[in-house]
Amino acid sequence: MSVGQTKSTLRSRNDLVFDILNYSILSVIALIVLYPLYFVFIASISNPTTVLNGEMWIWPKGITMEGYSRIIQEGSIWRGYQNTILYTSVGTVINVLFTVLAGYALSRRDLYGRNTIMVYLLITMFFSGGLIPTYLVIKKLHLINTMWALILPKAVSLFNVIIARSFFQDTIPNELLEQAKIDGCSDITFFAKIVLPLSKAIIAVLALFYAVGYWNSFFDALIYLGDESKYPLQLVLRNILVIQNELASQFVTDVESAEVQQRVASLLKYGVIVIASLPLLIAYPFIQRYFVKGVMIGSVKG
């Protein structure tokens, strides 16, 4: 056997060992990530007693759809679902719009004082007024108990602005702008007809970041919303998880036994978690390629 063949054989064996180790580690990580989601799903259709006793691990036991049937009948859960969709849609559009505009403006070399502006913006990443001053400002603006209290205070994330700025610096060359101006293109036209079509990747990334943040948010609603009809789904879910005993009697009014109420409340808990997670799980595969591309491009420079 020649030296070249020996090296090729060793390389093939090393590659095989690496692939085995790599796939083994990734399989373990995937199992760690996916099993909790799978467990929540099978727990939502299993007998709550078997779940509480730890008798269910792989397959559902005592399959029942009572939890989902009660979720369909419960108005507060669907009202929270509608509120979350509204807050997420409106908030994501506003956030992406402001972030893209700010990121593009800060990426332009002809913006006077852009480095000074970035310094002032960076300060806000490390220092904030805190919860009480923020609450007082929102109260003075008469935003308490409105959806704008959940959207306007966090209309722009500086971290996402930096990602967008890096993306525009790496993707939109100055020569392209100069050529467009020679052809009589204004800044607004250049941004709308050239920059935006080339920025689908970063827009998808920003939309995903903001949408996930709004969809999972409950703390702002807990602080600023007092009307239960305006609660987002995550706050309804939080109440089910934290105040389960009270909500058991609230949601399961047709059952007198406290034990049965607790069992049905457990089904509600797992069922609402599944329903709350479905939209993001369904949407992510369609924007995954934009997500990976946008993150990699936007993270090259700071």
Q: Is the pLDDT of residue 105 over 70?
A: yes
Q: Is the pLDDT of residue 31 over 80?
A: yes
In a domain, 57, yes or no: no
The number of distinct structural domains making up the chain is 2
Q: In Å, what is the CA distance from 95 to each residue of 24, 68, 161, 211?
A: 40, 34, 10, 9
pLDDT tens for each residue of 166-217: 888 888 887 787 788 777 778 888 888 888 888 888 888 888 889 888 888 8
Contact predicate 248/264, CB 8 Å: yes
Say yes or no: 25 and 169 in one domain.
no
In a domain, 195, yes or no: yes
The answer to pTM > 0.95 is: no
Residue 29 burial (C-beta neighbours within 10 Å; 0-12, 13-18, 19+): exposed
256: CATH: 1.10.3720.10
Closest to 153 (Cα-Cα) out of 134, 171, 136: 134
Q: Is the pLDDT of residue 252 over 60?
A: no
Residue ranges making up the domain that contains 36 = 3-44
DSSP character string of 230-287 = G--HHHHHHHHHHSHHHHHHHH-TT---HHHHHHHHHHHHHHHHHHHHHHHHHHHHHH
Say yes or no: 136 and 96 in one domain.
yes
pLDDT tens for each residue of 49-63: 777 777 777 888 777
Contact predicate 88/214, CB 8 Å: yes
Say yes or no: 73 and 40 in one domain.
no
Say yes or no: 151 and 227 in one domain.
yes
- Which backbone phi and psi does 242 adopt, to 5 degrees? -90, -40
